[in-house]
Amino acid sequence: MRKQILRLLRTGEQISGEALSRELGISRAAIGKHIKALRQAGYQIEASPGCGYRLLSIPDILSAEEIGCYLAADTPWKIHYHASLDSTNNEIRRLAEADAPGFSVVIAETQTAGQGRLDRTWHSAPQAGLWLSYLLRPKMPPQLAQTMTLTSACAVVAALSRFGFACRIKWPNDVLGPDGRKLCGIKSEMRSTMDEVEWLLCGIGININNLSFPEPLDQTATSLRILKGEPLPRAPLAAALLEELERFYAVLCREGFAPIRQLWLRDAVSLGQRVRVSNWHEQFYAIAQDLDENGCLIVERDGQRQILSSGDILL
Ligand code: BT5
């Protein structure tokens, strides 16, 4: 209901309590309660006796109502919004295990224990970024579902390009700004048998309005605000990302990874370059060459072709 009230107020016109109550089929007292709750959430709403309500300003929050204003009414995403969580990945995993449906999304304004891969931490400053995890229940073989990290990276690049940012992808899970610094990291988890996937979750962290980063991240990280020189409203960006994720996932379900691989190759940074590879058992130098049909990186190491299914590369 609050989302619908917001949609009506967003025209910027004054609208009477009576008109709102008629349009939405609820009492004027109920309208009054929703207006109070919206003000508490940070919306500045002017009320003039006899004339009605007018929206004066919108807070920079990532609530379901605010993001919902930028999404189509029939969006499949169900947003769970939190002021603070240890990690949105932990919360979406809990929902997955409690049988939550696919297309559930958890968003937090801050994370107290944001996670990177392999026990690394993810810096998640309050109100600065988009810290989001989503759940899918794909009817596809686990091997294809595993490409969802790369697919999500393509969706991030597509969403950011709508706001004028030309970003690049670094295998396996980073999106970099045009300056080569890390703007976004992705961490996926899956529960499956050898044949079918029970659930798949992806956590995406995008630095949006960070002005700076603590050491040593200040050497490697960037944010959209640093790149652009001005802050960005986060809710339209979150909505764009959810739309692109839905679109890319539909392509993956319908056509497999091949068309997404082409987009990935177009936007990848590392190909043709000498990289340092670290994986769980060794470190070595190689030339990054290609991405195979399963999303593995093909490198040339001492004249030999090697296929990497996991690990980190340093340019
Ligand atoms: C990642 O791991 O890049 C995956 C990050 C996933 C974060 C999202 S936020 C929403 C969801 N909830 C979570 O708890 N996690 C997900 P990895 O490739 O292992 O990179 C981790 C490394 O990136 C760290 O060791 C730092 O060097 C660096 N790093 C940490 N925070 C960063 C930040 N905000 N921006 C850029 N780099 C960062």
Nearest CA to ligand 1 atom 2: 116
Give me the pLDDT at residue 315, please.
Answer: 85
pTM of the complete model: 0.95
Pick out the chain residues at pLDDT < 70: none
Residue 121 β-bridge partners:
115
Nearest CA to ligand 1 atom 21: 116
List, for residues 74-120, the tens digit of each pLDDT value: 999 999 999 999 999 999 999 999 999 999 999 999 999 999 999 99
CA 242 – CA 254 distance, rounded (Å): 18
Nearest CA to ligand 1 atom 29: 122
CA of 193 relative to ligand 1 center, distance in Å: 27
Query: Which atom number of ligand 1 is nearest to the Cα of residue 172?
Result: 18
Question: If we measure between CA atoms, which residue out of 275, 251, 274, 276 comes closest to residue 263?
Answer: 251
Best of 62, 122, 179 for a ligand 1 pocket test (most atoms within 8 Å of beta carbon): 122
Question: If we measure between CA atoms, which residue out of 88, 93, 5 comes closest to residue 54?
Answer: 5
List, for residues 32-85, the tens digit of each pLDDT value: 999 999 999 999 999 988 889 999 999 999 999 999 999 999 999 999 999 999
Beta strands across the sheet bearing 297-301: 304-308, 297-301, 283-291, 274-278, 312-314
**CB-based contact 8:15 (threshold 8 Å):** yes
Give me the pLDDT at residue 49, please.
Answer: 83
Give me the pLDDT at residue 281, please.
Answer: 87
Question: If we measure between CA atoms, which residue out of 291, 295, 307 comes closest to residue 141?
Answer: 295
CA of 6 relative to ligand 1 center, distance in Å: 33
